[in-house]
């Protein structure tokens, strides 16, 4: 499996596009390539390659599922804990992730399938679920963004 290809998969929260090529994701989503993407990682060791978790928040990051954290360095990273999506993600270690819809629009499965290089489906199928909660972590404070 090539990490630079565009995958359509059911993530732990909603259906999404995944790739290690952020330029490809930006092109498909028709959004500025300067706007950063969420990064999904398979474990906390992989998280250390992208951000340092402030000591005060280590237990929160470890325990909260389906939550994305924006770290002091500006990186938005989610450690995936859901078994079925984790099986896919472990093959790569990490991937950029975004919802599988054109920017500002709702999910259209036909459009999403036509954009993807590879469609990854399991027993759950593909569905637009609730997106992850997003928290900004500071050294002293935590703020819920979504």
Number of domains in the chain: 1
The per-residue pLDDT for 63 is 92
The whole domain housing 77 covers: 7-144
For residue 56, being part of any structural domain is answered with: yes
Residues 68, 100 contacting (CB under 8 angstroms): no
- Would residue 47 count as lying in a domain? yes
Q: What is the pLDDT of residue 68?
A: 95
Closest CA to 85 of 44, 129, 131, 121: 121
pLDDT value of residue 93: 95
Mind listing the pLDDT tens digit of every residue in the chain (146 residues)? 798 999 999 998 889 999 999 999 999 998 888 889 999 999 999 999 999 999 999 999 999 988 999 999 999 999 999 999 999 999 999 999 999 988 778 888 999 999 999 999 888 888 888 888 999 999 889 999 98
- What contacts 50, CB < 8 A, 6 or more positions away? 39, 41, 71, 75, 77, 94
Q: What is the pLDDT of residue 50?
A: 96
Q: Is residue 1 part of a domain?
A: no
Q: What is the CATH number of the domain that holds 49?
A: 3.90.870.10
Beta bridge partners of 38: 97
């Amino acid at each position: 499996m090539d990490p630079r290809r565009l995958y359509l998969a059911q993530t732990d929260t909603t259906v999404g596009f995944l790739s290690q090529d952020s330029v490809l994701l930006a092109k498909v989503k028709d959004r500025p390539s300067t706007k950063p993407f969420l990064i999904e990682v398979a474990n906390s060791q992989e998280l250390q390659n992208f951000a340092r978790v402030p000591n005060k928040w280590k237990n929160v990051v470890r325990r909260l599922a389906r939550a994305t954290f924006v770290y002091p360095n500006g990186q938005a990273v989610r450690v995936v804990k859901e078994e079925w999506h984790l099986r896919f993600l472990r093959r790569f270690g990490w991937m950029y992730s975004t919802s599988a819809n054109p920017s500002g629009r709702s999910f259209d499965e036909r459009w999403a399938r036509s954009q993807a290089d590879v469609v990854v489906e399991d027993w759950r199928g593909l569905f637009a679920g609730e997106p992850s909660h997003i928290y900004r972590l500071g050294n002293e404070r935590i703020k819920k963004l979504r």
